[in-house]
C-alpha cells in the first residue's frame, strides 16, 4: 500500500467538516472552555504546566488546545491539511498559542527540530501507521532524556470484531494492511461520506516491545473495560462518559494506556 498516505489524507480531510459540526466533538462547548481530555489520560499526564508537549496525530487539535489551556507549550501534528487548518482556527478562537504542523508522523524529524518533555498520542492513532518500530523511533528522536511518553488507545481486541461485534473478522496481529471503504464516520454514522482507508492492527506486544527497544521504560500499563467515546456501533453508556458494547459488557477490554520514560542513557 505505497499510496496509503494519500488515501488516508483524503479520508481524513473529508471527515473534518462533519466532525466540526458533530455532537461528538462538541465544538461550541469546547470554545466556551470544556476540555476534550478524559480521566484516563489526565491521570497519566499529571501537571503539565510549562511542559513542552508534542501531540502526534492530533486531528483538529482539541486535545492539543486543552493541554495549552493547562499551561503547556504544545505542538500538534497531523496528516490532514484541512484538520491542521481547523486546528489553527480553533486555537485562534480559544486564544491559545498552540502550534500546528501538517506532517506524516514518519516525516516529522525532517520538518521539526525540537525536543519535548512529553509526547502524547490518543485514541485511534497507531492503526493508521504500518511500522511501529519506525513510530517508536520518532518518539525516541523527539523526547528529551527523562521525558514522558503518554498514550491512550483503543484496545486491539476491539479491532478484531466486525462493526456489529458479532464475529471475529480481523487478525489480532499485524498480518497485512486492511484496505476498505467506509460509509459515514465514527462521529456521525449518518454523515454522507464514502471514503477508502488503509489501516493496520497492532498487538499489545508490538506496541510495548517497540517502545522498549527504543530506550523507553514502561512505568504504567493499564487496561479498561470501557471507552470514553461512543464511537462504535451497538454501544451503551453504563455510567456518565463511559461506554461498553451491548453484547460483551465488561467482558472485553476497550482501551489501554501507557506511560513510559525515556532513559537518560
Q: pTM for the full model? A: 0.98
Q: Which residue has the cell 492530533?
A: 58
Q: Residue 208's pLDDT is what?
A: 98
Nearest to 124 by CA among 168, 156, 149: 156
Q: What angle separates helix 4-21 from helix 81-94, to the nearest 10 degrees?
A: 40
Helix (H/G/I), strand (E/B), else coil: 204:
helix
**CA–CA distance from 52 to each of 84, 93, 124, 258 (Å)?**
19, 22, 23, 19
pLDDT in tens, 69-100: 999 999 999 999 999 999 999 999 999 999 99
The whole-angstrom separation of Cα 112 and Cα 55 is 13
Angle ∠(64,70,75) on CA atoms, nearest 5 = 30
Angle ∠(114,198,170) on CA atoms, nearest 5 = 115
The whole-angstrom separation of Cα 222 and Cα 212 is 16
The whole-angstrom separation of Cα 261 and Cα 91 is 29
Helix (H/G/I), strand (E/B), else coil: 58:
coil
Average pLDDT for runs of 10 along the chain of length 265: 92 98 98 98 98 98 98 98 98 98 98 98 98 98 98 98 96 97 95 96 98 97 98 97 98 98 88
Structure letter (DSSP) for residue 235: E
The whole-angstrom separation of Cα 24 and Cα 240 is 14
Q: Residue 132's pLDDT is what?
A: 98
Amino acid at each position: 500500500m505505497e499510496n496509503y498516505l494519500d488515501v488516508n489524507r483524503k479520508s481524513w480531510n473529508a471527515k473534518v467538516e462533519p466532525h466540526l459540526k458533530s455532537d461528538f466533538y462538541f465544538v461550541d462547548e469546547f470554545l466556551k472552555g470544556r476540555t476534550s481530555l478524559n480521566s484516563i489520560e489526565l491521570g497519566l499526564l499529571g501537571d503539565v504546566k510549562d511542559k513542552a508537549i508534542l501531540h502526534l496525530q492530533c486531528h483538529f487539535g482539541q486535545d492539543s488546545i486543552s493541554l495549552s489551556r493547562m499551561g503547556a507549550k504544545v505542538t500538534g501534528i497531523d496528516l490532514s491539511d484541512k484538520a491542521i487548518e481547523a486546528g489553527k482556527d480553533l486555537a485562534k478562537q480559544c486564544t491559545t498559542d498552540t502550534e500546528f504542523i501538517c506532517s506524516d508522523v514518519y516525516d516529522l524529524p525532517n520538518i521539526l527540530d525540537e525536543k519535548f518533555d512529553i509526547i502524547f498520542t490518543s485514541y485511534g492513532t497507531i492503526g493508521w501507521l504500518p511500522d511501529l518500530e519506525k513510530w517508536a523511533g520518532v518518539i525516541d528522536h523527539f523526547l528529551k532524556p527523562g521525558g514522558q511518553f503518554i498514550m491512550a488507545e483503543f484496545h486491539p481486541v476491539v479491532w478484531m470484531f466486525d462493526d456489529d461485534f458479532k464475529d471475529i473478522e480481523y487478525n489480532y496481529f499485524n498480518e497485512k494492511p486492511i484496505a476498505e471503504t467506509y460509509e459515514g464516520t465514527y462521529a456521525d454514522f449518518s454523515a454522507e461520506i464514502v471514503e477508502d482507508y488503509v489501516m493496520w492492527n497492532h498487538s499489545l506486544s508490538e506496541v510495548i516491545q517497540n517502545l522498549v527497544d527504543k530506550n523507553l521504560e514502561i512505568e504504567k500499563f493499564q487496561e479498561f473495560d470501557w471507552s470514553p467515546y461512543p464511537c462504535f456501533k451497538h454501544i451503551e453508556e453504563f455510567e456518565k462518559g463511559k461506554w461498553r458494547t451491548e453484547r460483551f459488557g465488561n467482558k472485553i477490554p476497550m482501551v489501554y494506556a501507557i506511560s513510559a520514560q525515556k532513559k537518560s542513557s
